Structure 1
């Protein structure tokens, strides 16, 4: 069966890109090694915020486009998995952000006494928070309703897809390191702890991008997601008990009730960071096909998915 486009990769970036192309009336298939709930995207926290992503000159527009999509979907959170939730970015200064910050409604600098924990600065915001297993299922249903096809299929190169479609879009995340190959990709390990929510309604982050350990929690309907780590070059997927205990302890120093919350599970994901940042680029394949790369989103694939999808779609079909 021939298609107009085959998108390789079934995480949030792949689903967004495939849906954007299907909305243009194209016949689109997704080839994904994993079910959507088995992708790295399913492990994400996942708060909209440009975190650990380059290039700075492009990120703002991609993130704002994605923000508008999530704001619309937040009107029906049970279906979309997207809610707008209030919270605090500790250790962050408004003047230190890019021009995109002026377009985020309600973002404001806090007085020192308003910032939880041992932090002297912080921002208040009400941002989209995504329940990723619910959200990925929502995206898959939207894609299939447009006539798209999702196939579980592992690949070891793009030639097979190129034989079945004139355009192939590479949304393979960290796997692009071997598939392209691109040695500039490296894993940034993120470990999370899921606990029963002791009544916390607002999210909190205190992220030091120069450190391998961060402190944050994200409240979902049935759980509180605690984090985290940002361990560059670490490809371990098994949860580390000592790391989990340290995550809980850091969060409990800010909100003591977290210390007694029952642990529900552990998650590990590998963020696909790339030297030089996100790669959105079209290359010609032998035989006249076109390969469009859309990978390297680091810790912000959820944040820029729809902006990057539009950029990739333009390169794919114009």
Structure 2
């Protein structure tokens, strides 16, 4: 029996993990992407935490599987994954998100652990990921499994349907055109990367529906500061005023960041829709399995969604 040939469209964290799971299961996998690795994933912070995505039940399953895989990666230096303790805090009375409540060892913060102005918080440990390092490790892993890459822009998924037994659409915002999905929209995120003045724990503020976020994630020699969540904003240019505001919010929590040197600025456009789309679509030429619309939770759900995608390719 011949090996099934699969095309994966997109080389962000969703596309790469989908391609790896398929290639390591014996499929002949080719990744098509305009940018390798994908720009949105490359710009991410990033840490595990399935924020603000639906459908709830599927998200919990995908997140739990991904947490287990990332925890294993923390023991393998090439992935750039660290298990870090830290604090999520709120200025208003609130409850711990269900996904965080399931983490081992989670506990409420003592009053002395919270910065001025915060009324409650929780301490827990999660995977924190240096995305440029991580994505390069995924690319190397896919190549080692026999996968290949074609760097080109696609205008239609049917361009591949005649050449492959299945197409996995992990094109992120590109699915607005490739899948004719009018529900998909960008949420702009901006981050600042600075030298690490000795920070070893993460911090994240629960800012509710605000577009201005406050969090920092240490990665050995640097710290990623965030951030923003500007809805329906496709501007990928760096806004230095936004960067200054991000640094000010983070330095108010951790004063050592005020004197840190800026290494780079990052902007990414999160591919967002009312619900993540992981499903079979038979309206195209050949079998298409969609895997997109993860918003800011792509890393957090990647391995779980990849496994679901693999099963759909097999079933299809």
Q: CA deviation at 1:178?
A: 1.7
Cα distance change, pair 205–216 in 1 and its aligned pair in 2 (3 A): same
| Pair 1:227-2:221 in alignment | no
Structure 1 CA distance for aligned equivalents of residues 16 and 117 of structure 2: 40
- Residue equivalent to 2:127: 128
Per-residue CA deviations over 1:22-43 (Å, capped at 9, x if unaligned) read: 122111111111011x521011
Contact 1:5 1:29 in 2 (8 A): yes
Q: How does 1:63-78 map to 2 (within 5 A)?
A: 63-77=63-77
Cα distance change, pair 271–93 in 1 and its aligned pair in 2 (3 A): farther
Q: How does 1:35-46 map to 2 (within 5 A)?
A: 35-36=36-37, 38-46=38-46
| Pair 1:315-2:316 in alignment | no
- Residue equivalent to 1:24: 25
Q: CA deviation at 1:3?
A: 6.0
Per-residue CA deviations over 1:137-175 (Å, capped at 9, x if unaligned) read: 111111111111122121011011111102000000111
Unaligned residue ranges in structure 1 (runs of 5+): none
Structure 2 CA distance for aligned equivalents of residues 265 and 8 of structure 1: 28
- Residue equivalent to 1:304: 301
Cα distance change, pair 269–96 in 1 and its aligned pair in 2 (3 A): same
- Residue equivalent to 2:189: 190
Structure 2 CA distance for aligned equivalents of residues 199 and 156 of structure 1: 47
Q: CA deviation at 1:103?
A: 3.7
Root-mean-square deviation (Å): 1.7
Per-residue CA deviations over 1:190-245 (Å, capped at 9, x if unaligned) read: 00111111111111011324111010111112211111000001111011111111
Cα distance change, pair 102–240 in 1 and its aligned pair in 2 (3 A): closer
Q: How does 1:143-292 map to 2 (within 5 A)?
A: 143-275=142-274, 277-287=275-285, 289-292=286-289
SS in structure 2 at match of 1:176:
helix
Cα distance change, pair 95–165 in 1 and its aligned pair in 2 (3 A): same
Cα distance change, pair 240–101 in 1 and its aligned pair in 2 (3 A): closer
Q: Normalising by the residue count of structure 2, what TM-score does the alignment of the two structures yield?
A: 0.94
Give runs of ≥4 in structure 1 deviating > 6 Å. Answer: none
Structure 2 CA distance for aligned equivalents of residues 94 and 305 of structure 1: 28
Q: CA deviation at 1:102?
A: 4.8
Structure 1 CA distance for aligned equivalents of residues 290 and 249 of structure 2: 38
Q: Normalising by the residue count of structure 1, what TM-score does the alignment of the two structures yield?
A: 0.94
Contact 1:3 1:29 in 2 (8 A): no
- Residue equivalent to 1:88: 87
Structure 2 CA distance for aligned equivalents of residues 251 and 240 of structure 1: 17
Structure 1 CA distance for aligned equivalents of residues 44 and 115 of structure 2: 24
Q: CA deviation at 1:296?
A: 0.4
